[in-house]
Structures are given as structure tokens and as C-alpha cells.
Amino acid sequence: MWPPEVIERLNREAAKRARIRQIEPARWENPEVPFSETPPTIPDLGDACADWDARFKRVDTLFMDISGWGAEEEPSLTLDQFQTQMASLISLHGPCLLAIEERGQFQAYIAVWAEEATL
């Protein structure tokens, strides 16, 4: 596993790239379409997620397995569990914006904002 210093550095670098390239979160609006069939690429914004917190209401931060090897009984969400959670969030809040806020070797924290709940 990567030590915390490496993860922190990678998140700072992701934020710098995202700001320079003006990368925006992915938008997911239809929970009926399985994420695995039409997956939006979830961009890695790292520490730049704070910029989006100033513009939109964060409705959740999901801890997700990104290795593909996770099991349902583990703390990180599997792809199926992630889809179920996102369907629930979209039902409650409408279209959502997603970005990777922190990435490790095997898991990531996914920031989720309600698109229409601007501050």
C-alpha cells in the first residue's frame, strides 16, 4: 500500500492538473442505465474538489473499490453497490456530479454533488 505522503502528493498533483486543464466532474443523471454499461469517466480532481464544494451541494462521499477485486462485505463499495448508492442519490437529488477526491492503490473516495442544488 502507498504511504499517506504519496497519496497526499498525488491528490495535490491531480488538483493542479484539473485546474490547469479545467476538468469538471462527470455528470450522471439516469440511474436506470447501469454504470457498467455507459460509465462516465470519473475524473480525478484530487484537492480541487474543494472548488466544487463552493459551487454545488455535496450530498455524499463514497468509498469505492477501484481494483475490481473488492468483495461486498468489505468497507469499500463494489461496482454494484456503487450503482445502487448512486441510483438512490439521483432519486433523491436529481442529476449528480462525481469526481475522485482521493485515490489510493485499491480504493478511492468519490465526491458526489447535487447538480441542481447550487449554493
Q: Which residue has the higher pLDDT, 117 or 86?
A: 86
The x, y and z cell numbers of residue 80, run together, are 454494484
Beta strands in 25-91 (DSSP E): 26-28, 56-65
Helix (H) or strand (E) holding 90: helix 79-93
Across 19-23, 37-41, 73-77, least confident range = 37-41
pLDDT tops 80 at residue 93: yes
pLDDT tops 60 at residue 118: no
pLDDT tops 60 at residue 117: no
**pLDDT for position 52:** 94
What is the mean pLDDT of the segment spanning 70-99?
88
C-alpha span between 67 and 52 (Å, rounded): 26
What is the mean pLDDT of the segment spanning 88-116?
91
